[in-house]
């Protein structure tokens, strides 16, 4: 747990009326996400912009679409590259692929960035 997460945990304990709840429930009450989930949210929005938005050319270089005829999940799966060094698993492209592939079809196929954000909030809200 990093410093920012500890600060957020301490601040959430100071809110009156929520002292008896666990950390996740204290976050859920005002409609907040943990810092880890907010980082993921930002990464997935950036990936959407690379893959579907104005940065599409850069997205084609960053991500590889998985060739699959499976119909389960979303229809826009990304391929995860393999590296020998563990440090590469922290790269943006490696962090995003697994989570992107788990998103429901209606989230990935959103027609606009705003719709993607709304649907992503719902999908991530179900994960807490």
Facing residues of 78 across strands? 65
What pLDDT score does 95 carry?
Answer: 80
pLDDT digits (tens, 9 = 90+) for 66-84: 666 555 667 677 776 655 5
58 or 71, greater pLDDT: 58
Residue pointed to by tokens 């747990």:
1
For helices 3-13 and 35-52, give the axis angle rounded to 10 degrees. Answer: 120
Does the pTM of the predicted model rise above 0.85? no
Best CA proximity match to 62, nearest among 76, 74, 79, 77: 79
What residue spans define the domains of the chain? 1-32, 34-125
On the question of pLDDT at 114 being above 90, the answer is: yes
Q: CA 126, CA 128: separation in Å to the nearest integer?
A: 6
Q: Residues near 56 by Cβ (< 8 Å), separated by ≥ 6?
A: 50
């Amino acid at each position: 747990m990093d410093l920012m997460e500890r600060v957020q945990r301490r601040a959430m304990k100071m809110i009156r009326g929520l002292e008896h709840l666990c950390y996740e429930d204290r976050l859920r009450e005002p409609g907040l996400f943990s810092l880890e989930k907010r980082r993921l949210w930002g990464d997935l929005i950036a990936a959407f912009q690379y893959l579907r938005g104005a940065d599409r050319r850069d997205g084609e270089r960053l991500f590889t679409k998985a060739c699959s005829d499976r119909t389960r999940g979303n229809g826009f799966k990304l391929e995860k590259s393999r590296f020998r060094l563990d440090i590469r698993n922290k790269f943006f492209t490696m962090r995003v692929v697994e989570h992107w592939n788990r998103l429901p079809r209606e989230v990935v196929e959103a027609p606009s960035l705003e719709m993607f954000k709304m649907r992503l909030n719902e999908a991530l809200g179900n994960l807490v």
